[in-house]
């Protein structure tokens, strides 16, 4: 990806600029793109445009909004930002993303990747398998495992009791913490893989010469190693933030957003409004807010890739 971010294939030899089959117009050459473009227009661009339209209507599955759909301007957004349930879900989404992605998965993944360079093969394989195993598990299965883990009778409390600490039903007492930890458990592998790959390209000589110059321990890490993988850090942070913003199945299967609305992040709130309460118009307005947040992060990520490549 390092090279392909520039999107233009490197021309080879003298045929630069004319490195295609001799005959055929450009349109014909680009024709194989058609199936992909077709699918993305219908099933990705289509829903997004539909979303922009429906977000400004009172569309619903039942009641007046079902019979005749009307434009209601910014009503849905006014309703959202005035509603405590919506602001609650925004806060929970921020907490969830901060704890589970930016702090949890990112730091733990980086830590694992760094430690793995110092460890022996057996330990490395054991940890790698365990972490990736958690990642490969289907979402709902992971959710059940962790529900059992955090349950009143679950493994976590058994361990806490053994060392003399009080246990509690984590899914009731601190649901957003429990689902955040669950997401760390499930998602760390991704960051670990990205950082392992990035660190494997840091030349050993640079680190060694830095050590000769007296940069040891955390100093070497902070001033030599980390700056060299800054691009991977940026990429990883953006990608895991985007993934975490749209986590639905894990939370839904663990807590259904509850108890009450204590773990109802934005996707769960959207789902409840659109389907349990049949407010499609209002639900799509929330979806649009999520899309915009995602789009902003995505753009920052693209800018980062571009400026680094330039």
Partner 1 sequence: MIARDRVSKLTANLILAAIGVLFVLPLLWVLFASVNRTAGLRVELPTSPTFENFRAVLNTDTTYRPVLNGIVLCGGSALLTMICAVLAAYPLSRFKTKFNRPFLLTVLFCTGLPITAVMVPVYGLFVQLNLVDTLGGTIMFMATASLPFAIWLTKTFMDGVPISLEEAAWVDGAGSMQALYRIVLPLMWPGIAVVLIFTFIGMWGNFFVPFMLLLSPERLPASVSIFTFFGQYGEPNYGQLAAYSLIYTFPVLVLYLLLSKKLGGAFALGGAIKG
β partners of residue 71: 57
Would you count residue 155 as binding partner 1 (CB under 8 A)? yes
Cα–Cα distance for residue pair 264/282, rounded to 1 Å: 17
SS3 62: coil
Q: Of 5, 98, 102, 174, which one interacts with partner 1 (CB under 8 A)?
A: 5
Nearest alpha carbon to residue 247 among 92, 134, 103: 92
Cα–Cα distance for residue pair 128/168, rounded to 1 Å: 30
Closer residue to partner 1, CB minimum distance, 58 or 284: 284
Quick check: 188 and 112 in contact, CB under 8 A? yes
Closer residue to partner 1, CB minimum distance, 48 or 94: 48
The nearest distance, CB 29 to partner 1, in angstroms, is: 5
DSSP per-residue letters across 206-251: HHHHHHHTT--HHHHIIIIIHHHTHHHHHHHHHHHHHHHHT--HHH
Would you count residue 58 as binding partner 1 (CB under 8 A)? no
The binding track of 83-122 with respect to partner 1, each residue x by CB under 8 A or -, is -------------------------x---x--xx-xxx--
State in Å, rounded, how far the first CA of the chain is from the last one. 14
Nearest alpha carbon to residue 281 among 80, 86, 25, 9: 80
Tokens of 205: 């000589």
Q: Of 74, 103, 140, 206, which one interacts with partner 1 (CB under 8 A)?
A: 140
Cα–Cα distance for residue pair 173/168, rounded to 1 Å: 7
The residue range among 80-88, 97-105, 147-155, 172-180 that interacts with partner 1, by the rule CB under 8 A, is: 147-155
Q: Of 75, 83, 102, 139, which one interacts with partner 1 (CB under 8 A)?
A: 139
Q: For residues 183-242, which are near partner 1 according to CB under 8 A?
A: 185, 189, 193-198, 200, 231-232, 234-236, 238-239, 242
Q: Of 95, 98, 102, 137, which one interacts with partner 1 (CB under 8 A)?
A: 137
Quick check: 262 and 238 in contact, CB under 8 A? no
The residue range among 73-81, 95-103, 202-210, 299-307 that interacts with partner 1, by the rule CB under 8 A, is: 299-307
* Structure-token match 């793109």, residue found: 33
Q: Of 20, 63, 73, 259, which one interacts with partner 1 (CB under 8 A)?
A: 20
Q: For residues 270-289, which are near partner 1 according to CB under 8 A?
A: 270-271, 274-275, 280, 283-284, 286-288
């Amino acid at each position: 990806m390092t090279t392909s971010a520039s999107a233009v294939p490197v021309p080879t030899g003298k045929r630069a600029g004319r490195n295609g089959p001799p005959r055929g117009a450009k349109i014909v050459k680009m024709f194989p793109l058609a199936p992909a473009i077709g699918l993305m227009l219908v099933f990705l661009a289509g829903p997004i445009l539909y979303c922009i339209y429906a977000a400004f209507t009172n569309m619903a599955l039942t009641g007046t909004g079902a019979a005749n759909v009307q434009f209601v301007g910014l009503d849905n957004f006014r309703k959202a930002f005035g509603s405590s349930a919506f602001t609650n879900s925004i806060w929970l989404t921020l907490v969830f993303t901060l704890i589970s992605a930016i702090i949890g998965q990112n730091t733990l993944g980086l830590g694992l990747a760094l430690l793995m360079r110092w460890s022996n093969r057996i330990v490395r394989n054991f940890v790698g398998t365990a972490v990736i195993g958690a990642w490969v598990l289907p979402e709902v299965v992971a959710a059940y495992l962790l529900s059992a883990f955090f349950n009143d009778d679950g493994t976590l409390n058994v361990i806490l009791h053994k060392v003399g600490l009080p246990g509690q039903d984590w899914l009731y007492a601190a649901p957003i913490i429990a689902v955040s930890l669950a997401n760390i458990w499930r998602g760390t592998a991704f960051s670990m893989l990205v950082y392992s790959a990035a660190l494997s390209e840091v030349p050993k000589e640079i680190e060694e010469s830095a050590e000769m110059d007296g940069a040891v321990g955390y100093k070497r890490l902070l001033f030599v190693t980390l700056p060299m993988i800054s691009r991977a850090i940026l990429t990883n942070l953006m990608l895991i933030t985007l993934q975490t913003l749209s986590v639905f199945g894990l939370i839904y299967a663990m807590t259904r957003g509850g108890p009450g609305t204590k773990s109802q992040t934005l996707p769960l709130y959207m789902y409840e409004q659109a389907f349990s309460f049949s407010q499609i118009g209002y639900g799509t307005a929330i979806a649009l807010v999520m899309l915009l947040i995602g789009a902003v992060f995505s753009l920052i990520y693209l800018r980062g890739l571009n400026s680094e490549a330039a």
